[in-house]
Structure 1
Amino acid sequence: MNHIIAGQDTHGNDINLDYIDHGDGKPVVLIHGWPATYKMWEYQLTALVEHGFRVVAYTRRGFGNSSKPFEGHDYDTYADDLKAVLDQLDLQDVTLVGFSMGGGEVARYMSRHSGARVSRVAFISAVTPFLLKTADNPEGVDRQVFDEMIEGVKKDRFDFLQGFGKKFYGVGMLSNPVSEAALDWTQRMCEVADPRATLLSARAWSETDFRQDLAAIEVPTLVIHGGDDALVPAKVSGERMTHFVPHAEFIEYAGAPHGLFIPEKERFNRDLITFVHGGDVQKTADRY
């Protein structure tokens, strides 16, 4: 098991981030969603390596096999952890790919650390620019929605994760985009998360305003969002990204759920590989 040390907790214990580092070539760093681990990228890891990229994926603090400190579950700290990954592996010309809450890490890193070492960024089903409905963000989601999620985690985290997984992949009475085995695998992966980290990080991704962070992004930017995302609606997030990153390419996958990296893996892998290579993603997307 590989670990990167991302500082210490208040007791002087090292905070270790579990990661993998495969392949050679231009580096792609994959940042997972809530409350999963880097293993959610299973179908992307192999595809990217096979196309000549070096792929680094890590699990944020509080989740999976990474350290589970009591504190540090906020986006400034998450961005600093990402910096530790890039610095300690001495990665250059990096493409950052953030899924869901991982998009927040990308945005905060680009502003807090001036985009050091990064040449491209991709936001996939991301929580950016700002999810919470406020007086100056009327397009957002009512706080009650997030409060109910928090209460669900507190009441019975395992039952919550079971229902969450179905919404995550868009499973319904007439829709089964992933297998029962994939749902079970996802739940096992998410159950390993620290309960406190699960709660605090949910507050972080639902309440953090990334609009000013996005203004710092000048590198090529890709935004992909599922049209049927029931957890982070495209109208609140993906569709609004070009307002804050005008040069971004926005591609909506019609009918796709939040967790599009499995049911849409062939298309998503092709678009991501095209983007990292510097190609025209829209031409790829237009085939569908």
Structure 2
Amino acid sequence: MTAATTPLPRRHAITVLTGIGAIVASLPATAAPKPAAAKRPASIVARDGTRLYHRDWGEGRPVVFLAGWGLPSECWAYQAAALSEEGLRCVSYDRRGHGRSDAPGNGYDYDTLADDLAAVLEQLDLRDVVLVGHSMAGGEIVRYFSRHGGARVSKVLFLAPMSPCPARKADNPTGLPAEMFEQFRTHVLLRDYPRWLEENARPFVTPQTSPEMMDWIRGLMLGTTAKALVECNRASTTADLRSEIPGVKVPVLIIHGDKDVSAPLETSGKRYAALAPNAKLIVYEGAPHGLMFTHIERLNGDILAFART
């Protein structure tokens, strides 16, 4: 056996190990490890016990995304993934009955949905928030201000919002008859919703949108429960938010496409801009309703600029 492979006597090994310990102890102290970031809640629980699934990516100023009718939080994938790399904390959640959230038999009215938004902001302890709401989510945001005030919110971005008053009334002659909405619920949503999605997918996007992207969007919407589809449609089409929108006094940005057939610019985005006291309207030429899918780079840039200013 060579000297190189001869094992040390036990006492010599202890001496060597003790010497190494002494050397390590004599080295300059290194900086203490950074404290771990505060643990974020794994789930949100609404006032009635409904569990709301959410995504929470990034650090920095919080931007909370609310999806439109029938869509889960995954619809914001191309915004949250990119903007969380740009110094924003991107939070999105599934409305009750959508995606991975619980699907109770009630609570799809704007009051309860606004309370769900309040639960998200409070349980994540978010402040100086930028709210981004697509389509019917504009109503949830407006009702949140009416019911909870705006102490946690510093800015609001309404993306392709629905009409503040979709139904026809004496003082709202451009609205649609209430009977039309009810027929849609009973004869479409409760009979053949998948076929309706197939037939109406193309106007939601642009001619350049790939078939694969359209399939993905349809898949997201097919995951929503029938109860949520019907009741959220009822809530959004019977609401009259005209007297509440002026209460959103924080800076407001409205982004709307001039080819939006789901929520036409004239009766939707422009009306929001006229009613909100600190509003700016940006019109995307040739753009449809599904802007988060069709105008990803431009929309992300506008959200980032709005959040940073």
What TM-score does the superposition give when structure 1 sets the normalisation length? 0.89
Q: Spell out, residue by residue over 1:2-52, the C-alpha distance to the aligned partner (whole angstroms, 9 max, x if none).
A: 4211123xxxxx311110001000000000011010000111012211210
Partner of 2:35: none
Q: Spell out, residue by residue over 1:86-121, the C-alpha distance to the aligned partner (whole angstroms, 9 max, x if none).
A: 000000100000000111111111111111300000
Partner of 1:286: none
Equivalent residue letter for 1:167: P
The 2-side partners of 1:64 and 1:233 are apart by: 27
SS in 2 for 1:155: coil
Q: In the alignment, which of 243, 249, 273 is matched to residue 242 of structure 1?
A: 273
How well do the aligned residues superpose, as a CA RMSD in angstroms? 1.5
The 1-side partners of 2:183 and 2:213 are apart by: 25
Residue 120 (1) aligns with residue 155 (2) = yes
The 2-side partners of 1:42 and 1:158 are apart by: 23
Q: Contact 2:47–2:115 at 8 Å: present in 1 too?
A: no
What TM-score does the superposition give when structure 2 sets the normalisation length? 0.83
Which shifted more, 239-248 or 85-94? 239-248
SS in 1 for 2:112: helix
Partner of 2:190: 154
Equivalent residue letter for 2:74: K
> Within 5 A, what are the aligned runs for 1:79-98?
79-98=114-133
**Runs of 5+ consecutive residues of structure 1 not aligned to the other structure:** 9-13, 171-175, 279-288
Q: Contact 1:18–1:59 at 8 Å: present in 2 too?
A: yes
Q: In the alignment, which of 60, 67, 71 is matched to residue 36 of structure 1?
A: 71
Percent sequence identity over matched residues?
A: 41
Equivalent residue letter for 1:104: G
SS in 1 for 2:256: strand
Equivalent residue letter for 1:205: S
Residue 271 (1) aligns with residue 302 (2) = yes
Q: In the alignment, which of 87, 90, 95 is matched to residue 60 of structure 1?
A: 95
Larger radius of gyration: 2
Count of residues in Structure 1 that have an aligned counterpart in Structure 2: 268
> Within 5 A, what are the aligned runs for 1:2-81?
2-8=42-48, 14-81=49-116
The 1-side partners of 2:295 and 2:184 are apart by: 26
The 1-side partners of 2:182 and 2:264 are apart by: 17
CA drift of 1:142 comes to 3.6
CA drift of 1:165 comes to 2.4
CA drift of 1:138 comes to 1.7
Equivalent residue letter for 1:100: S
CA drift of 1:148 comes to 4.2
Q: Contact 2:249–2:277 at 8 Å: present in 1 too?
A: no
Q: Contact 1:165–1:183 at 8 Å: present in 2 too?
A: yes
**Runs of 5+ consecutive residues of structure 2 not aligned to the other structure:** 1-40
The 2-side partners of 1:230 and 1:85 are apart by: 31
SS in 1 for 2:155: strand
Q: Contact 2:246–2:277 at 8 Å: present in 1 too?
A: no
CA drift of 1:128 comes to 4.3
The 2-side partners of 1:250 and 1:142 are apart by: 28
Residue 129 (1) aligns with residue 164 (2) = yes
Partner of 2:247: 216
Question: How has the CA–CA distance of structure 1 residues 257 and 145 changed in structure 2, closer, same or farther, with 3 Å as cutoff?
Answer: farther
